[in-house]
Structure 1
Amino acid sequence: MFDLDVQSGKPVYEQLMDKLKELMINEVLQEHNQLPSIRILAQELTINPNTIQKAYKQLESDGFIYTLPGKGNFVAPPKSFKNSSKEEEIRIELSKVLAEALYIGIDKHEIYRMIKEISPLAKGGDS
């Protein structure tokens, strides 16, 4: 499915979360698709099942996936990704990045152009 860098300073469960989010945003994993079971994914990636469980729990907490007891984990519909605490965290980070971009001289029209360029790539989000 994908590779994780166990030598990286970033925790493996965060790498796994980032990779799964990327697959969801790029619609490789579409809403209501079942994710691999914890056991199978742990075997494929040769990592501890608890690491997968931690990533899945965090993704569920953030609204990216949902669990059906006895059935497994599934990709949540894009609109349910909206999570007020996650949204606020993104707003804060985006504000910092935009302020830095403006400070170093990137024109606001260039920023608008970049947003328009990125918007089609995030099909799951609002345009």
Structure 2
Amino acid sequence: MFDIQPSSPTPIYRQVIDQVRRLVAGGQLRACDELPSVRSVAERHAINPMTVSKAYSLLEAEGLLTRRRGVGMAVAEGARPAHPPSDRLALLQPALDAAAQQAAQLGLPRETVLQAFDTALRALLTDPKSTP
């Protein structure tokens, strides 16, 4: 469910938070859907369980997740389903800005960058488990 990048400058707990927010905003996670357990996420990504627990707790405090006794964390009943495309694009904008800045710094032509993005997006939409 999560794509954790340990080498990213973004802290791991923040990566988990941002990904849960995007999954809810995009409608892939809906109210009452269960999240993977802290232990399973930590083991799968070889990260500290406290990091995952921190992310889940912050999302719970925000009202996006709810703790269900004996079951684990689930998307809260009041969590909004898929947001309008403009709201979802706002969640993507920081990543697009960072990628655009890096492309400019590398001196890559606009068409090359757009082609690379299109290729990566098509690969993910064809097989969501693949990584570009």
Fold similarity call, TM over 0.5: yes
CA distance in 1, matches of 2:69, 2:85: 40
Name the CA shift for 1:59/1:117 in 2 (closer, same or farther; >3 Å): closer
User: In the alignment, is the contact (CA less than 8 A) between 2:16 and 2:55 conserved in 1?
Assistant: yes
Matched position secondary structure for 2:17? helix
CA distance in 2, matches of 1:11, 1:23: 18
User: In the alignment, is the contact (CA less than 8 A) between 2:30 and 2:79 conserved in 1?
Assistant: no
Task: Give 1:42 shift.
Answer: 1.0
Whether 2:38 is the aligned partner of 1:56: answer no
Map 1:1-127 to 2 at 5 A. Answer: 1-77=1-77, 79=78, 118=86
Corresponding residue number in structure 1 for 2:128: none
State TM-score, norm by structure 2: 0.58
Identity %: 34
Name the CA shift for 1:48/1:62 in 2 (closer, same or farther; >3 Å): same
Matched position secondary structure for 1:60? helix
Task: Give 1:80 shift.
Answer: 5.1
CA distance in 2, matches of 1:49, 1:13: 10
Corresponding residue number in structure 1 for 2:95: none
Unmatched runs of 5 consecutive residues or more in structure 2? 90-132
Task: Give 1:117 shift.
Answer: 5.3
Letter in 2 for 1:62: E
Matched position secondary structure for 2:10? coil
Name the CA shift for 1:50/1:24 in 2 (closer, same or farther; >3 Å): same
Matched position secondary structure for 1:17? helix
Matched position secondary structure for 1:74? strand
Task: Give 1:21 shift.
Answer: 0.8
Letter in 1 for 2:86: I
Moved over 4 A (4+): none
Task: Give 1:2 shift.
Answer: 2.9
State TM-score, norm by structure 1: 0.61
Unmatched runs of 5 consecutive residues or more in structure 1? 82-115, 123-127
Number of residue pairs matched by the alignment? 86
Task: Give 1:14 shift.
Answer: 0.4
